[in-house]
Chains A and B, each alone.
Chain A
């Protein structure tokens, strides 16, 4: 099936540093998402992105978070500066259109120390 690739799969970072999580969505998909999951618990919506803009973001999407997809390259989630509570697995997803199936990557495990 369609594949969403995420880089890196794991990253350990010092608190206060910047991290960028990269996502290569399915090629003909237009909607992109980031979700946060702590310790295998609930998938929590962070943000979605369409046509170069954030459509909706949750309360978890703090001011330190930003997303972009410059010129059709990777869809990125940047956290600057990182905090201890940012430790989680971040999942990228994409869909062809709104209301369609979301295809998820395998996640980027972020550990902030």
Chain B
């Protein structure tokens, strides 16, 4: 799981497997963003889920949000090698002026 003070998590799976990454956040947020960062690149948004949604899907991605436990998850179905990246969750402040990123999960998908 990602958390403010933990080190970067690392997962290694085989192509075709499903994977779920978890994120816990500390403060109130109106939306959880999930970004992926490829090596040497900037982060790019892949899916976001708002506080009035419990689940959001986009292709092989599925995000969930539990505001009562302040946690979110990102699942990838049938992972492919090109899914290899670092995945960050990010929450916005009450005013929405900034995003606070989690520590990230490094996902390696082997062929």
Contact = CB atoms under 8 A, between A and B. Distances in A.
Question: Is chain B a partner of chain A in the same complex?
Answer: yes
Contacts of A102: 33, 45, 99
A41 B103 contact: yes
B69 to A, nearest CB: 22
Contacts of B102: 42
Nearest to A31: B97
For the residues of A in contact with B, the DSSP-based class is: strand
A48 B39 CA distance: 25
Interface residues of B, number: 28
Contacts of A18: none
Nearest to A100: B96
B23 to A, nearest CB: 12
Given A42-B104, A91-B43, A104-B44, A99 B31 contact: yes
A106 B37 CA distance: 10
Contact of A48 (B37, B42, B88, B98): B98
B96 A91 contact: no
A19 B55 CA distance: 44
Interface of A: 4, 31, 33, 35, 40-45, 48, 50, 55-56, 91, 93, 98-99, 101-107
